[in-house]
Amino acid sequence: MIELKPEINFNKHFKIFNIISIVLIILSVFFLLFKGLNYGVDFKGGTLIELRVQDQTINISSIRQSFKNMNLGDVNVKKFGNKTDFLIKFEKKDKKNINFINDIKNKLVLDIGNSFSFRRVENVGPKVSSELLKSGVIAILMSLSAMMIYIWLRFEWQFSLGAIFALIHDVIITLGFFSILNLEINLSIVAAVLTIVGYSMNDTVVIFDRVRENLKKYSNKKINEITNLSINETLSRTIITSFTTLLALVSIFIFGGEILKGFSFAMILGVIFGTYSSIYIANPILEYLNVSHRTIVKEEKNENFN
């Protein structure tokens, strides 16, 4: 039976973990700036073909060679899950010829025979892809600001700042991981990042709620004692919830098929960092901003006055 005895002194580790976080963020920003993200067709434009061969003897190099001969520019061919599935990506698109997919199919038949099928074709024009990228970035910024405003309304500005730092931390590190590992960024990754924003907020809010309660209860305790107490009191919940969410996500990652791999991986990263940041980022910020019993009581008074 898991029974958590929450008497951990988190304060002791704040400094060291904050330094680790800062290093991770700098590393992530460095990779994001100099290596950039590996955008999929959604955001870069171009064509994606998921190909399944019935004939197992067809290997990746013959497919690659066939595409090379079609003069499509830089063609990326890779295995996709099963042995028989391949993912082909290229940027060049013959604008005038709306049937270029059929032409590719016909040329492929000449090279590798007709025992294959296109399971999925995605073709995104440059205008659409830049719009999708723009709206993805706007959506993430919007949700960050919405969270900030919500926490500010429900708590105090110090809490809102702590929460938003934790969120930005999670988003940057998750994206940084995608840059370092060269994983593809597509629409579902943006959805994952937005969900991470909401999820990471969950953890933070639960701890903050307890911090507020304890600040009211103990007027003479210092903020670092209060945060430490609050984190400990909510720790079993934090761990259990992250654990059940991870159970669901790992299940999607392993059994949910290739298309959801990137999405679930981003979510798994986000849940881990989100849980970590609500403890080690959001709370120290309350301390740095000198939150005290008075911060909360003042708020109550104002409410009564109004």
Partner 1 sequence: MLYFTKFKVLTIYIFIICISFFTLSNFLSDDNKLINKKINLGLDLQGGSYLLLEIDNTPIILQKLQIKLTSLKNDLIKNDIKFKNIKAIDNKILFDVDEVHKNKFIKIFEDKNSTINNYFDKYKAFEFEYEIINETISVFYSKYGIIELKNSSIDQALEIVRRRIDELGTNEPNILKRGNERILVELPGLNDPSRIKNLLGKTANLTFRFISQQNEENFGSEKLKFENSEEEALVSKRIILSGDNLIDAQPRMDSQTNQTIVSFSLDRLGAKRFGKATTEGVGRRLAIVLDNKIISAPIIKDAIVSGNGQITGGGLDFQSATDLALLLRSGALPAPLNIIEERTVGPDLGQDSINSGIISLIIGFSLVIIFMIIRYKIFGLIANAALIVNLFLLVGILTIFEATLTLPGIAGIILTVGMAVDANVLIYERIKEELKIENNKIIAFDDGYKKSRTAILDANITTLISAFILFFMGSGPVKGFSITLGVGILTTLFSVYFLARQLTSFYVYKNKDNHISL
**CA distances to 8, 16, 30, 131, 240 from 21, in Å:** 20, 9, 14, 32, 23
Site string for partner 1, 247-266 (x = CB under 8 A): xxxxxx-xxxx-xx--xx--
Q: Which stretch binds partner 1 (CB under 8 A): 12-20, 182-190, 221-229, 280-288?
A: 182-190
Residues 6+ away with beta carbon under 8 Å from 14 = 280, 283, 284, 287
Q: Quote the CA–CA distance of 173 and 145 in Å, as a whole number.
A: 18
Q: Which stretch binds partner 1 (CB under 8 A): 27-35, 175-183, 241-249, 290-298?
A: 241-249
Q: Which stretch binds partner 1 (CB under 8 A): 18-26, 27-35, 177-185, 196-204?
A: 196-204
Tell me if 148 contacts partner 1 by CB under 8 A: no
Question: Binding partner 1 by CB under 8 A: which of 8, 25, 70, 101?
Answer: 101
Q: Quote the CA–CA distance of 106 and 113 in Å, as a whole number.
A: 10
| Nearer residue to partner 1 within complex by CB, 31 or 269 | 269
Question: Binding partner 1 by CB under 8 A: which of 246, 288, 289, 292?
Answer: 246
Size of the site for partner 1 (CB under 8 A): 72
| Nearer residue to partner 1 within complex by CB, 257 or 306 | 257
Residue 187 · residue 139 · CB < 8 Å: no
Q: Quote the CA–CA distance of 211 and 163 in Å, as a whole number.
A: 13
Q: Quote the CA–CA distance of 116 and 290 in Å, as a whole number.
A: 65
| Nearer residue to partner 1 within complex by CB, 31 or 116 | 116
Question: Binding partner 1 by CB under 8 A: which of 8, 27, 128, 168?
Answer: 128
Tell me if 51 contacts partner 1 by CB under 8 A: no
Closest approach, Cβ 268 to partner 1, in A, equals: 11
Which of 271, 206, 209 minimizes the C-alpha distance to 242?
271
Q: Quote the CA–CA distance of 66 and 102 in Å, as a whole number.
A: 15
Question: Binding partner 1 by CB under 8 A: which of 138, 216, 294, 299?
Answer: 138
Question: Binding partner 1 by CB under 8 A: which of 136, 162, 176, 262?
Answer: 136
Tell me if 217 contacts partner 1 by CB under 8 A: no
Residue 107 · residue 69 · CB < 8 Å: yes
